[in-house]
Structures are given as structure tokens and as C-alpha cells.
Structure 1
């Protein structure tokens, strides 16, 4: 059951209390007036007994008069109470809205920050609420203090990423250059060349690890300018680098960063190829779902994956228990980067074991904005081509 808003509840409380007070006041007035009329009726009857013998008629007239007066009091008082109660409810609605306006201001600020494309965008905003130092003002000031600390934290993270990128890549690049020079010398022995090639492979793996860490750190941040991207084109491009990968690339238009989306697809494909069995297969499909999402599905015939291992596969440096010491495997960041990139684009990723071994990884992203006539109907390929050509 949907709960009422705070403004509605405050209005009902104000109106209810006012109506209850009015009913009590009307009831008290009725009782007091009834007693007053009864006293006057008794006095009038006693006075009339000294002048006329028709006391019964006077009693009847006095009783009818008292009844009519009390009935008029109830009817007219009830109508007046209803009108004033309606006015009180309307005024209570306005007052409640005015009192809750600072909270609405904080809600709008929080929503703008939450809806920003990157997790560190909008943190420079402040509520800066004006007003007396009451509970709402203290809440707004606390929220501003939290935003300021988060802004400083993300700013420090940006500086750390920039420094780490330089400090970690420079020695690895230097090592790779020296090793390449050493193994390409004509007088180098076979043992030294083999050792150099092994060290080059280890150095290359460390470079991929650093690139993956930097991508993972940046993927939840600023996406930059969003553009129209058809995942079918990305799937076709990435699959061309892996001839053994089968594709079924249906049109899947979305808005995002083309480079990061290519990295998402590439990580999924490389993960499917790397964690496979001999003579296995990898299939990549893309398309548009009726619920307004585009879908990318990567399936492979790898080893059997226990269901309880699935959540850990999307955590950094996590692999299957049997693969953690395998040097030919990756750094354990592929699916972590996929999840971070999917979240940065407003989507989500889901994995489930494939019967007989392997994984089925599904990435769902919001469909790109289409013309109004297509909003509630089936999107055809020609419609998407027309929309893509117009953008």
C-alpha cells in the first residue's frame, strides 16, 4: 500500500485537529445553550402561572422553540464548521508546503547529484539554506558539509589516479624498452632471449593490470560527452579481432561513450575466450528488448561455474578458485570493469551458469532516444537506420 506524503499527512493532522476542536466547541455550545434555554423556559412558565391558567400551552410552545433553536444551532453551526474546516485544510496544505520547502530543496539537490553521469559530478553544489538555526537548517548545513568532504575525497582520487598513471607506467615502459633491446641483439644467447621474452610477457601483464586498474577507477566517474552508439557495430568490430567468436549482431542503439562501450564488449569477449575449454565456442549477440533496453549477451563453453562463485567474479582480483594461480589468466579485473562501465552507462550486468559449463553474461543498457511515434511500438531496423542517419 502506497503511503501518503509528509505534506498530506501534516495537512490531515492539521485539518483533523481543527475539525475535532470545532466539534467539541459546537458540542459544548449546544449543551450550554440547551441548559440556558431550559432555565429560561422554567422561569417563563412560573411567571405565566400567576397570570394565565393555560400553562400547558405555554410549555409546549417553549419546548418547540427550544428544540428549533437547538436544531438551528446544530445545522448552521455544522455548516459553518464544515466551511471553516475546508478553509483550514487548504491553509494547512499551504503551510505544510512552505514548511517542507527546505526539505524539497535538499531533495532536488541530492537528485541532481545522484542523476549526474559520473559519481563525482555535481559535488561542488551546495544547498546554502537561508533561515533561522532550526532543525532543518542544521540538516542542510550537515548535508553541505558531507558534500564538501565528498568533493575533496573525489578530487584527491583524481589526483591519485593521475599520479599513479604516471608513476606506474613510466618504469614499466622503461623495462619493456630495455628488454626489447636486449632480446633483439644478434649476439644474445637462446637462454637469455627466452628469459627476456618471459620477462616481456610478465611486464605486459603488469601493464594490462595497471590499465585495468585505471579504467576501473575512472569508469565510475565522468563519462564525457555521450553519443549515439549501436552495440551491433561494436560487437562486429570486436569480434573481427577474434575469428573463432560467433556473432549475431542485432541493432542495439544506446547513448554512451563509444570507447568505454568497446572496452566493455572487448572485456566480455576476451573473458569468454580466455576462460574456455579446448574446442569450445564463444557467441556474442546483441539486440533491443521490448522493455526499452538494449541487451548484449556473451556465452561460452568454459568450465563448470558453481552458482555461489558468480557474485565474486565481478569483484576486483577475483577468479574461480581453480584459476587463481594460473599465469595464463588475466588480472581478475575484466568483469569488474564490465560491471563498472555498465553502471556508469545506467545499466546493469548479470551472469548465470550455462548448462554443461561456461557462463552466460548479459549486459542491459538504456535504449537510445527515439522519435515519439516509436516510443510505445516495435522498433524496426529501418526506423533505427533513419534515426542514426538523422543524428
Structure 2
């Protein structure tokens, strides 16, 4: 990396910041020591000099002074008496000596302090560079992992081995994001493969019917049967394409201006009246429930829930449709016993409880995934739970946020889908 590029790295910025702070602290410490030592240095040096050389101390009236360097005995200054010229000369010599020693000490202290500060600057910059590298190491690991990732190795994780902290939390969050991305990519691949398979099957049937059934000179009765078969396959393909388009529209969310008040209780009653289930007992408890949303999409949501409840029911079974004033729509049915582990898969596109048999009225396995997408588009929550034996079946509870003034929205309970 070039020098200009290196200076633009976070490590260089942190090094400059840490180094500047350490140098600032070191310079402040040197200045503080120099000022504090300098304030009392002259008094200390002067006291030492006077103690070592008493003759160079200026006498105070009434004080007995031992000249020390002279064979003369100590004398006592009388009040009002002035020092002799020799004593004044000794005092001046003491002053000059104290000043010289003080200046030399201050100069030596300053030189050593600046030298120590220079060494400290080098060490602080190296320490700041090393410390910045240690701090940013997890970021480098995250960057390298992100650079290696592609659609083929989303299973890789950072798994940062570090003590708890912000960077450890960042790495764990990145790992969790990779898990979600892996799940979404896998779901997208399954969706593409399943959609291709679902669309290829009717095309293959149509081709076989045209090539084999209409080969030669078929009778009018055979042509009628093939015609009916082709129309049925075309209807199935058209329904599949419409379901895929509806799923795509639901996943895009609601368009501005397309929402308004929708009475889900009336919508459910209308769907039941338009296509009443035959040979099934319908139990309805439809309390008033008005939500804000797209009426067409909510109609598909109710219709798919009811269709799913009828299609996967047993002979003489039961369907329960409920709406409540606290924002919940629930549809339950009786039917085959479903394991709890299989319930989440039923909300995925093209996922069924059993393998597809390609029989009439079987469906493409998109009903509940469309319901989930429409619920998400409306800010509603949906969950599924298998009914207990011996009834079996599923129950779906979709909880919608209520408009202002209709009560607080409670947390979504576990839903059962049927």
C-alpha cells in the first residue's frame, strides 16, 4: 500500500490519534515537572550553598555569625549595624553561585526531559500502531470473510474468538446475518427449482397429449378427450402463474393509495357464501373486525385460507372460521395429523405435507406462502400449529394491527393453520 493510501487507513488514523494523545500527555508532564522543580530550585540551591559556606551568608542584626573561612571568632551584629564590605561581597558571591547552579540544573533537566520525550514519542507511536492493529484485527477478519463470500460458501462464519465487546458483538451479528442470507438464498434456489418443475410438468403433459394423443388420424371422441385434457392442463398452468404473480405482488408490499378500511368478518362470510364447502361442517364465529389494507389482497388471503382448509380436510370433517375484535382472523380444520416439525415448512412456496401426485384439484403448494406474504405486507403476524390428535389438521391465526381507536394491538399468539 502506498504512503498516501496508508495514511487513509483506520489504523493510521487511530495511530495518529493515540500517538498525539500520548505525546500531549508526555509533553504536559515534562512542562509540569519543569515548572514545579524550577519554582523551588533556587531556594534549595541557595540554602545548600549557605549551609556549606556560612561566611557567604548575609548576617542579620543580633545574629552571631561564624565567618568560617577566617581565623577571626564569630561576631554578633548590633542593632542598626550594617554588614562589612567583606560580608556584602560574600553575600553577592553566594547569590551568583546559587544562580549559576540553578541555571545549570534547569538546563540539564530540560535537556534530559526533551530527550526522554523524544524516546517516549517513538515508543508511543510504535505502541499506538501495535494497539490499533490489535483493536482492528476483528474488523480485518470480518472484511476478509466478506471478501471471500459468494453464493457458494455462505456457510462460512467468522466465529471470532475474542472477549465480549463491541467488535465481538459485531462479528456475531455478521454471522447471524450470514445465516439469514444463507437461508434466503437456499429458499430462492428451492423456489426457482420448484417453479421450473411445476411449470415444466404441464408443458410436458401438453406436449405428450399433442404428439401421442393426436398422432395419426384420431377419432372425434379421442380428439374431444385430448381437448378436454389440454384445457384442464392449461387451466392448471394459468392458476399456477396467477399464484406466482400474486405471491410476487404480495412480497413487494402495499402500493400507496391502495389501502382502506376492510371488514374481514364480512369478507369471510362472503367467501363462505360464494363457495360453500360440501360435506363439511362449518363453524363460524364472526365478530366485527375492520382492518386497514388492500381489499383485493385480503380477499386472496381469506380465500386461500378457506381453500387450504377444505382441500386438506377429511370426509365429514370440520372447518372453524373466527374473527375477533382484537384483530385476529383464525381458520382451523380437521384432517391428517401433522408433526410439529413439519408445520413451518408448510408456509414455504411449493411445500406440501406429502409429495405431489399431480391429480386434479391438488394445488401447487403456494396457498399458505401467499397468505404469509399478504400478512407481512399488512404488518400482520402469522404462525402455525398442528392440531392435536385425533382431529388433526392445522389452525392459522393472523393478527392484524388495529386502526387507532379500536384498542391496543396485543402480541400475536401462536397460530394454527388448517
Which one has a larger percent helix, Structure 1 or Structure 2? 1
TM-score calculated relative to the size of structure 1: 0.50
TM-score calculated relative to the size of structure 2: 0.47
Q: Specify the structure having the higher radius of gyration (Cα).
A: 2
